[in-house]
Structure 1
Amino acid sequence: MIPSKPIHLGTLFDDLTVRGSTTAVRLSRPLDIAPEAGVELDVPGARSLVLRICGWFAQAGVRSGDRVAIAKRNHWDYVLLACAAARMGAVPVSLSAHLAPSTLAILLRRSDPALLVTDTALLRGARDAGHDPSLHAARTLVVDGTVEGALTLDDVRGGNAPPPRRPHLDAPLAIMHTSGTTGVPKLAVHSTRTLMRRLAGFESHRWPILGSRRDDTVTSSFSFAHGRALAWTAGVLWLSPDALSVITSSDRAEAEPALRLHRPTVLEAQPATLARWQHHLDEDRRWEGLQRVRLFVSTFDAVHPSTVRTFLNASERRAPVWMQGWGQSETGPLTFRFFTRRSLSRSQGVGATTRDLGRPIPGRTRLRAVDPRTLRPLPPGTPGLLFCRTEALCLGYVGEEGRWRDKLVGPWWGTGDIGSIDRTGAVRLVDREVDALTEGGCLEIEDVVDERLPRALECLVLGVTDGPPVPVVATEDGTLDLGDWKVAVEDLPTMADPMVVTWDELPRTGTGKVRRSALREKLGLPADGRGTGRWT
């Protein structure tokens, strides 16, 4: 009997095949693990690939209960590799190729995998940097070539997929790392109950506006090493839209042709990708591939009002909608809010904001703001440390159980974000606690600068302990007129003169977030701001 919602990660494509899914999977480039499959798959074809991978893993010595680490160039095959590991009763550990070699080594030591699945570029690059990731795995499998000391696909072909094993609902199912904007990422452990029943299960309903429709082309462009990729794939495919489309890079040379060829009706991308595309849209007025979009979705990070406005205006739909979600790798989504052209039509400045995050998901999440020192609940509208309650909370952190327990206060989980909750339950985000400023919120200042200074591709405000906060502005050529800057910020809290960089000089995570601690180090700023960092 096939369940009414996606429950099992390992047999996801088996269940979809039995249900008769006709969704086409369209790729902006061929899969790294199977380039011969081309750029379009159907669900039975994806199932065949998962079974083939299971045979590879069996030949490589993977057994039920083992961990399989995946660290390679960004692509949807992260999902297929994770499904194959889970089908065998192993636990996939998804690690971004954007991780610094030293950081990757730390996470591999913590996860202690029986097999590392990687590619030649990552393995050789890490070795050249003095951090050989294969030293931290029992065996290493390279999917796209030959590297000394590692298995190749030719070494593991021909193995048979063992029978599927379905873990207990509350046993570890998959491990993924957090963003790592403030240091070494945490390894969050999710179960079938938290990842598949709570997160993917929620997305597998045909909700008004949000749910995939039969005629939709649902397109994504984000880090497929992120846990979001598993819930997104399961939730979207369960509703059988016409097509699921994958764009693996924010680079315009790959993204624009894919959008034009497979014109989306639903588009989800990480905010850094959208911000990069936004400036091309400003130059070209619009891309042909965005005309049919009825729903834009942004998660992972804060998004600027100008970005939302630009993309809503690029659609030729009568009333396109933008859904902004707020959550964490440990919890999944906690709130969401819808924007329309009308709701963002106010004049530039402090009026338009995307820091109002909406309300908790009814029946699924609860939130409260507490005093960061006493942890006592605060009155409505008072900014404080945001705590949540959700049944989708991860099981813990691999190798850092004490750190995970320290963020729990009874049944409440400390998100590390500063914000307020009004009498209606609406949440307004102020800052990450570790990035908090003495006066004002860095996120709102960054929004205002984005609205008033079109040349700024990105603005980051970094607090320091012994002076005014330091703004860092990225422009196309790394230059900025100081007079324009002073006009833009004349009514904002006092700041130091801006430090100007190019877009590519900003250190980022796999999901496009700026690694603020790394940026401080790169610019020679003090490592500590005004926040305690306890809740990171």
Structure 2
Amino acid sequence: MGVLFDECAEHRIGTRVYLDRPFDIDGGARTHYTIPQLAALVQEAAGWLAAAGAAPGDRVAIVKDNHWDYDLLACAAVRVGAVPAQLSAHLSGEALGTLLARLGPALLVTTADVLERGRKEGTDLAAAARVTLVLDGAAPGTLGMDEVRGHTAPGPHRRHDDEPLVINHTSGTTGVPKLVTHSTRTIIGKLARFESVRLPRIGLRRSDTLVNASAFSHGRTFCWTASTLCMAPAEISIITTQDPYLADPVLRAHPPTVLEALPASFVRFLPLTEGLDNPFRRVRTVISTYDAMHPPTVRAYLTASRHPRPVWVEGWGQTETGPLTFRFHTRQSAHKASGGAGSRNLGRPVPLKTRLRVVDPDTFRPLPRGEAGLVLARTAACALGYIGEEDRWSAKRHGMWWNTGDIGARNRDGSIELLDREVDRTPQLSCLRTEDVLEARLPQALECVVLADPDQDPLPVVVTADGLLDQAGWKEAVRGLPPLREPVALTWDEVPRTGTGKVRRRELLHRLTGRTDTYGSGRWT
């Protein structure tokens, strides 16, 4: 990864890159790059890191605003032999302080805003690192960019395929995220290499315009960076915002043929799917990861496309494992799912890569098909471990099997039906299935969240544009469902979320009820 951009430039890959805003690591206002220009920027950044003291084997923590230059900085750190740790600036100061304490980085690369927010929340983030480099200024005891610019990058440092390559954190829906370490073999050899195959119909083509609206501090985009550059599409457009009206100009200037985004971004961009001239009219492939996608959202994007046979590729996996299953949606299957059945079928395990089994949560004995239990996975792409939480990692390993912490059932055809996270489950119903049904029956809902609450019926939360909910429509929507409490209507911004847009269910439950206890044990979060 340290020489990825150099090698792509040497092979004269002609991909053009467009940004919705300039990189935080480039002092200019440039929003258009060629691959050689990106290679030069990575080399320049490697010089900065070396000048700041980063050396082979050191950990370099990166905390900044959301942008693809997270991965450029990570590649620069890899180039000098360091191990980059990409941390989301969306995390609270307390959570960031905890993660930095576990990391003990030699260098922290961050911004003045991140440091100031940490101080306001009672955490001195700079104190956790030997040296702190501030990208947009300087503060007492830190380095500014003027002090490191112009330094020549050292030659690329090679490492063994099984040594730590990159550290990413999990989404953190239930508390402080875990720090996951991947090696070159796991995240590049097993994951990125698999994505670099030009599969019929869904594989990336050299003529494609690829748009990615993601959370670039997470491991998914590090892997995506490796595979996408090697596939050499004609254009790559990077979107860092979830505001549809800020994203719209970039989408219209470079209409995607392949679109990847966070589930939350897909929901926020829904108003853009309307009309014959919508920016998604050329889309042939849509890719979603991170979280469950509800059928009405899938249907809206496939309907917006004017391609004769658009496909939605939904992947299910975890930071620790990469993708475990794939499922393909077409207009026909999305229309059927939007009828209110509430299926959470995740598809089959990745062929030749992944094995799955469903076991009893108490005995860990395999369960017959159709019975719900804990989903275990076996994959050669499994990470090396958690930083500072070795016991937690060991508790989730069962021989060669990894405990996903999800409750599901295996269907007769081998596919997996996801019911809930173990920590979020309730005996009355599947929260995820019920959310699907409610979203299908409530057109005004941006999102529905069903919260398990011990000793009471589940609490439904309906997210709408204005925070209002029609009671007559609600009564019709819950017809035939298990008992639910009276709904709470909120706006999008009133719901606590992770950096990837996932709902922090326990925090939301606490805000609404003052409680955080659930039916689930939470032993495998």
TM-score band by shorter chain is: over 0.9
Structure 1 residue 322 corresponds to structure 2 residue 315: no
CA distance in 1, matches of 2:277, 2:134: 37
Task: Report the counterpart of residue 469 of structure 1 in structure 2.
Answer: 458
Pairing 1:158-237 to 2, within 5 Å after superposition: 158-237=150-229
Partner Cα distance (1:346, 1:114) in 2:
53
Which moves more between the two structures, 474-483 or 284-293? Answer: 284-293
Change in Cα spacing, 1:395 to 1:286, as seen in structure 2 (3 Å) is farther
Please name the residue that 2:504 is paired with. Answer: 515
Shift of 1:288: 2.9
Aligned-pair CA distance for 1:35:
4.0
Equivalent AA in structure 2 for residue 304 of structure 1:
H
Specify which of 32, 35, 41 is matched with residue 40 of structure 1: 32
Distance 1:456 1:288, change over 3 A: closer
Question: What CA distance in whole angstroms lies between the structure 2 residues aligned with 1:464 and 1:291?
Answer: 42
- Residue 377 of structure 1 corresponds to which residue in structure 2? 366
1:307 maps to 297
Q: Are 1:128 and 2:117 matched, yes or no?
A: no
Verify the 8 A CA contact 2:284 2:305 in the aligned structure 1. Answer: yes
**Partner of residue 133, structure 2:** 141
Q: Which consecutive unaligned segments of at least 5 residues does structure 1 have? A: 1-8
Aligned counterparts of 2:142 and 2:5: Cα–Cα separation in 1: 29
Alpha-carbon distance, 1:510 to partner: 0.8
Corresponding position of 2:7: 15
In the other structure, the counterpart of 1:411 is: 400
Q: What residue is the counterpart of 1:531 in the other structure?
A: 520
Q: Secondary structure at the match of 1:69?
A: strand
- Following superposition, the deviation at residue 240 of structure 1 comes to 1.0
Q: CA deviation at 1:352?
A: 5.9
Q: Where does residue 89 of structure 1 map in the other structure?
A: 81
Contact 2:341 2:437 in 1 (8 A): no
SS at match of 1:198: helix
- d(CA) in 1 for partners of 2:27, 2:333: 44
Aligned to 1:501: 490
Cα distance in 2 for residues equivalent to 1:352 and 1:295: 23
Pairing 1:367-516 to 2, within 5 Å after superposition: 367-516=356-505
Q: What is the rounded CA distance, in whole Å, between the counterparts of 1:347 and 1:463 in structure 2?
A: 24
Aligned partner of 2:267 among 269, 275, 297: 275
Task: Please tell me the residue identity of whatever aligns with 1:150.
Answer: T
Distance 1:352 1:496, change over 3 A: closer
Aligned equivalents of 2:390, 2:288: Cα separation in 1: 30
Q: TM-score, normalised by structure 2?
A: 0.98
220 and 347 in structure 1: CA distance in 2 versus 1, 3 angstrom threshold = closer
Aligned amino acid, residue 296 of structure 2: S
Native 8 Å contact 1:256 1:287 kept in 2:
no
State the secondary structure of the residue aligned to 1:346.
helix
| Cα drift, residue 25 of structure 1 | 1.3
Quote how far apart the aligned CAs of 1:308 are. 0.4
CA contact (8 A) 1:344 1:352 kept: no
User: Against the structure 1 CA distance between its residues 519 and 352, is the aligned structure 2 distance closer, same or farther, given a 3 Å change threshold?
Assistant: closer
Q: Contact 2:295–2:337 at 8 Å: present in 1 too?
A: no
Moved more, 468-477 or 64-73: 468-477
Write the deviation string for residues 485-520 of structure 1: whole angstroms up to 9, x where unpaired. Answer: 121012111111112211101111111101112112
Task: Please give the alpha-carbon distance, in whole angstroms, between the structure 1 residues aligned to 2:280 and 2:447.
Answer: 23
**Residue segments in structure 2 that go unaligned for 5+ positions in a row:** none
Structure 1 residue 247: Cα displacement:
0.5
Divergent runs of 4+, >6 A: none
Number of residues of Structure 1 aligned to a counterpart in Structure 2: 525
CA distance in structure 1 between the partners assigned to 2:30 and 2:308 by the alignment = 35
Contact between 1:55 and 1:160, CA under 8 Å: does it hold in 2? Answer: yes
Paired residues of 1:281 and 1:310 also in contact (CA < 8 A): no
TM norm structure 1 = 0.96
SS of residue in 2 equivalent to 1:173? strand
1:238 is aligned to 2:233: no
Aligned to 1:6: none
Distance in 2, matches of 1:508 and 1:55, equals 36
Per-residue deviation at 1:209?
A: 2.3
Deviations 1:189-246 (A, max 9, x none): 0000001111111111111123210100111001000111111111111011101111
Distance 2:207 2:442 in 1: 39
| Alignment partner, residue 75 of structure 1 | 67
Partner of 2:53: 61
Instruction: Name the % identity.
Output: 53
Partner amino acid for 2:332? R
For residue 325 of structure 2, the aligned residue among 325, 335, 340 is 335
How far apart are the structure 1 equivalents of 2:169 and 2:86? 7
In the TM superposition, residue 351 of structure 1 has moved relative to its aligned partner by: 2.9
Contact 2:342 2:435 in 1 (8 A): no
Aligned to 1:4: none
Query: 1:3 maps to what in 2?
Result: none
Contact 2:410 2:416 in 1 (8 A): yes
Post-superposition Cα deviations, 1:168-196, rounded to whole Å, max 9, x if no partner, equal 11111000000000111000000000011
- TM-superposed CA distance for 1:460, in Å, is 0.9
SS in 1 for 2:122: coil
Query: What secondary structure does 1:357 align onto?
Result: coil
Letter in 2 for 1:401: E
Return the offset for 1:286: 5.7
Alpha-carbon distance between aligned partners in 2 of 1:130 and 1:475, rounded to the nearest angstrom:
34
Q: Is 1:312–1:320's contact at 8 Å kept on the other side of the alignment?
A: yes
Report what 1:290 is aligned to.
280
- 1-side partners of 2:342 and 2:474: how far apart? 20
Give, in angstroms, the shift of residue 48 of structure 1. Answer: 0.6
Secondary structure in structure 2 of the residue aligned to 1:36: coil
Render the CA deviation track for 1:46-105: whole Å, top value 9, x for unaligned.
Answer: 111111011101111111110000010000000100000011110000001110110010
Deviation at 1:422?
A: 1.8
Is the contact made by 2:342 and 2:433 (CA closer than 8 Å) also made in structure 1?
A: no
SS at match of 2:419: strand
Contact 2:272–2:279 (CA under 8 A) maintained in structure 1: no
Q: What one-letter code is carried by the residue in structure 2 that aligns with 1:531? A: G
